[in-house]
Amino acid sequence: DIQMTQSPSFLSASVGDRVTINCKASQNINKYLNWYQQKLGEAPKLLIYNTNNLQTGIPSRFSGSGSGTDYTLTISSLQPEDVATYFCLQHSSRPLTFGSGTKLEIK
């Protein structure tokens, strides 16, 4: 199975900050990487698919990048409503595997 190492596990930042979250795969996943946001008590929501494609309805302050084994989710200007846990998902090979999550809070 492909292991997804996500960092940091916890992040505290101020409103307006640029925030980055990383996922590192144990092997090349050919940009088959999605990012999800999960607010407390809710189901995950798709933000970015296939590394850098913004899902419909998601604010443009969210973006993704990466290739090979290393991928990044960037929030260009943190907003209060971005408080959540963020997960990556590799769908390059079965079984699909998730990162362990990054809990983002506002300082």
Partner 1 sequence: QVQLQQSGAELAKPGSSVKISCKASGYTFTSYYISWIKQTTGQGLEYIGYINTGSGGTNYNEKFKGKATLTVDKSSSTAFMQLSSLTPDDSAVYYCARDYPGPRFAYWGQGTLVTVSS
The footprint of partner 1 (CB under 8 A) covers 34, 36, 42-46, 49-50, 53, 55, 87, 89, 91, 94-101
Q: Which is nearer to partner 1, 69 or 100 (CB)?
A: 100
Nearer to partner 1, 20 or 53 (CB): 53
H/E element, 31: none
Euclidean distance between CA atoms 88 and 107, whole angstroms: 23
The least CB distance from residue 86 to partner 1, in Å, is 12
Residue closest to 89 by CA, chosen among 43, 57, 60, 46: 46
What's 2's DSSP letter? -
Toward partner 1, which CB reaches closer, 94 or 107?
Answer: 94
DSSP code of 65? E
Task: Name the minimum Å distance from CB 25 to partner 1.
Answer: 15
